[in-house]
Structure 1
């Protein structure tokens, strides 16, 4: 006779039933928690990747806007000065000073001539390569098309004093054979950029932005480093448990990465070639180790560039497993504590106990509102029934409290997100809007004009001789001048005007519903109040050069209006500074 056919005492029956129920609850609860653990881990990775992808896309969009604007400006500079190399030299230096992630600015000519300025601060290996001293800051490379085998290398210090000169007679470099030169000629009249590639002299990736100069078959270019994207990666991943790569799909080549294992991407592509399979999160084995993997495209990039995130499965899932284990242990302990009570009441009649089991199942199923008291003439059964009711109430109240905490945390997260959004559109130093916000407002005003024919104007302001303030009084005083200038400008514009920091010592005002004459009147007013203001830490008078522009027939993008304002600003600078010029 087996166990199930033998007669058993009530005590044994109730204990066996209770043990089985508790075991079943633990198993189901454990399986559910383990499943939830995996889902939470995957959701965490997906959230991080989406955030990172958005940040990289925004950064690429901003960088491309700046770089294409710079190429346009270089085109205008070359057109103005043509073969005046001294003026081009100064202009190229200023651009490299303003844009710290530019490696070089150069021009290639149809006859094979070449004129390039390189920032030696970009990489320490450059000084070793060109035998430069620590005080050397700039390298000028010149090739004369009439003597293509000759190449001149000139080094300059921070004050643009020539420190050494070297002539090489075995030059093999011909700019007309370079991809950036050919691509620029194929897209005449338009600025272009090359796919990312690895530089020959420094261990990093970058892109070249180029433009032909007015059908002359002469091409001006800048080299942009992609190393700065690492800062975005670091801010968005846990480096202890995650590896991240920005790669090119065409050749599966890493462009930039944050990783402890440089071979990880290569090993991954040995087993998996179809990146679309990893659009959704997958768990894979690489080098005898489990990883949670997801790939996301960089939407704003014109190239086939993607981000791939490898998360160490064990490290990611471990916190969730520990929490699950604690919950299961708590449940086991509670079950063990209840066993003596069940043993005691198993001596009583069966019906109330069966009813109590039914009520316990309701608790298990979280049907707190349907739990009822078990009526019994036995005092102990009544007490147990009351205990179940209290337990249900406690669990219900705890759950309600937990939901309230979740709601509070969600509200706090929403507030934090609002703060993060505000920070993302605000310049940290001056508290004004930054380029991201200004670009958005410019596009909104341009869209409004194209739809409703409502005019708007822009004013670009540049603090005169700001470098002298930094050099002579220190960067702290320079920062004070920028902050006080921002406050003065903010207090002297209309409520509808939008003021922001355009970059460096430049400010931009967007004037909705304002013709060019109104913008000029406001610019003259601002020029005056800045000049008359006594700065707290800077003893001298501060002046500004200001350029204004507005819509005119044929303009289709706000970049053209900004470019026109830049031209007016340039005229103001060339005409002696401390003045207002308009573009007509």
Structure 2
């Protein structure tokens, strides 16, 4: 027993070590996914803000003062924005800065404690001068000066990137702001081909605070860096840690899964994850202190081993005691139980023992042997019947879980799985697949004017028609509301468009059973590209095409 205990403990230590590494690898992956999600959520919020600004912003610089109150309201609500500004093609510039972001700002501009906002204005007709105006919290002007100017907004990275982005919102790499001693990012967009650019500044320090709340800084150091190995920001106790790592490790792919390495005589568990940013190659690297991370696992294992040792000692004492009293009767009971196993119910003998429990058990064996055979047969029949019923129920549940109740088509759960499978094949083998998003035109009017029952009938008939007219290899499902989605594997954009046109025609000329008018559909088509890393990108492209179809008058097919 002691030998078995030693072998078991050694095996437990080995297994626990491997399991701990797997757990830590999984935890670091989850952490990187969470960090990636934080970055994307932050970027999405900032992109949304810049899109709103591009819509409401005054394009004519003569009306730029109308933006002042809007800029201050946005800066008040979005605490992580340091400034909002607009740069014009002729060198004009209009910027509103939140003075609370940096104490040095107030000192540099001789602002008082009551001053809240700083407005910088540059007129392209008088480019050598700039106006610097201070405002209090209630937007009352407190001071105004005119200074010499050397700032040219058209030479700044945010302006140049926005102008070359084909009217899309952009995010700059980190760079040093001109008016404060801090690094940050800028989100910008050109104002509808006007060569004027509206932007928001986002401090790196605020970006770091998002991560600090999700990171155990005692055990883990984190760096965000670009593909050229330059650091964007770090949450660390050792600023040289990343440089020391790159001195001996060149390949980033080796650390997609957690690896244990030695850096300057100290062990770390290291993992690198690439962020899903389509414009900039950014990576997160985690350095987990090996001793601190692994310690809880070993502590738990040693507690288990100590418990096992104590239990084994107690068991040895109990075995020695009880072997003298019950071993022989128990052995006889074992022999009788073998007869039950062999179904020799008529040969079972009573075991006499001074131990009351053994005698009771022996009598129970005798009574049990009389009925166990019939019971066993009955039980086997019931188990077989229950198994069949359970399998049928499981099949029904699975079908229900992937089926839309109203139309009988696949639901969003099944469609997401099919999209992921096609995306995986595309990423691995460069297979092209396409998606078709279908929306019933003016469906709300059908419900409002004819009632929801007629609306449901229309949905069911549209589902039946679409299902009859797609190919066997295609997958059709209800995407939501009056929208349907067709996934076309190994299908180029042109073929998907032909299918979409066919579906548009058959719906248009179908006579519905309970709805007297014609029904039309708007269709958006998109195919995966080599740059697409997620099926969400293809769905977004198809949505864009669908939106264009609606905008162009509905009852048509548009291709992204």
Same structural fold, with TM-score higher than 0.5 when normalized by the shorter chain = yes
Q: How does 1:139-538 map to 2 (within 5 A)?
A: 139-169=118-148, 171-202=149-180, 204-255=182-233, 257-300=234-277, 302-336=279-313, 450-455=437-442
Matched, 1:98 2:66: no
Indicate conservation of the 8 Å contact 1:57/1:300, yes or no. Answer: no
Matched, 1:22 2:2: yes
- Where 1:215 maps in the other structure, the secondary structure is coil
Indicate conservation of the 8 Å contact 2:437/2:523, yes or no. Answer: no
- Counterpart-to-counterpart distance in 2, 1:120 and 1:215: 32
Q: Deviations over 1:520-542 (max 9, x none)?
A: xxxxxxxxxxxxxxxxxxxxxxx
Indicate conservation of the 8 Å contact 1:275/1:295, yes or no. Answer: yes
TM-score of the superposed pair, with normalisation by structure 2: 0.56
Indicate conservation of the 8 Å contact 1:109/1:217, yes or no. Answer: yes
Deviation for aligned residue 1:558:
7.2
- Counterpart-to-counterpart distance in 2, 1:141 and 1:172: 13
For 2:26, the equivalent position in structure 1 comes to: 47
Distance 1:279 1:146, change over 3 A: same
Structure 1 gaps of 5+ residues are: 1-20, 356-376, 387-439, 441-446, 458-493, 497-510, 515-550, 565-584
For 1:437, the equivalent position in structure 2 comes to: none
Indicate conservation of the 8 Å contact 2:58/2:64, yes or no. Answer: no
- Counterpart-to-counterpart distance in 2, 1:91 and 1:328: 66
- Counterpart-to-counterpart distance in 1, 2:184 and 2:220: 24
Distance 1:337 1:558, change over 3 A: same
| Greater relative contact order, per chain length (Cα 8 Å cut-off, separation 6+) | 1
Indicate conservation of the 8 Å contact 2:82/2:97, yes or no. Answer: yes
Deviates more, 1:90-99 or 1:326-335: 326-335
2:89 to 66, 85, 110: 110
Deviation for aligned residue 1:201:
4.7
Deviation for aligned residue 1:279:
0.5
Matched, 1:74 2:46: no
- Counterpart-to-counterpart distance in 2, 1:291 and 1:42: 12
Distance 1:28 1:158, change over 3 A: same
Q: Deviations over 1:349-380 (max 9, x none)?
A: xxx9xx9xxxxxxxxxxxxxxxxxxxxx999x
Deviation for aligned residue 1:342:
8.4
For 1:414, the equivalent position in structure 2 comes to: none
- Counterpart-to-counterpart distance in 1, 2:323 and 2:52: 90
Deviates more, 1:194-203 or 1:97-106: 194-203
- Counterpart-to-counterpart distance in 2, 1:131 and 1:559: 53
TM-score of the superposed pair, with normalisation by structure 1: 0.54
Matched residues, number = 368
For 1:519, the equivalent position in structure 2 comes to: none
- Counterpart-to-counterpart distance in 1, 2:16 and 2:209: 30
Distance 1:143 1:30, change over 3 A: same
Deviation for aligned residue 1:280:
0.9
- Counterpart-to-counterpart distance in 2, 1:552 and 1:204: 49
Distance 1:55 1:326, change over 3 A: closer
Distance 1:128 1:455, change over 3 A: farther
Deviation for aligned residue 1:178:
1.3
For 1:411, the equivalent position in structure 2 comes to: none
Distance 1:289 1:455, change over 3 A: farther
Q: Deviations over 1:239-279 (max 9, x none)?
A: 22222222223233142x33222332222222222211111
Structure 2 gaps of 5+ residues are: 332-351, 362-415, 417-433, 445-451, 456-479, 484-520, 525-540, 551-560
Deviation for aligned residue 1:116:
0.9
Distance 1:78 1:249, change over 3 A: same
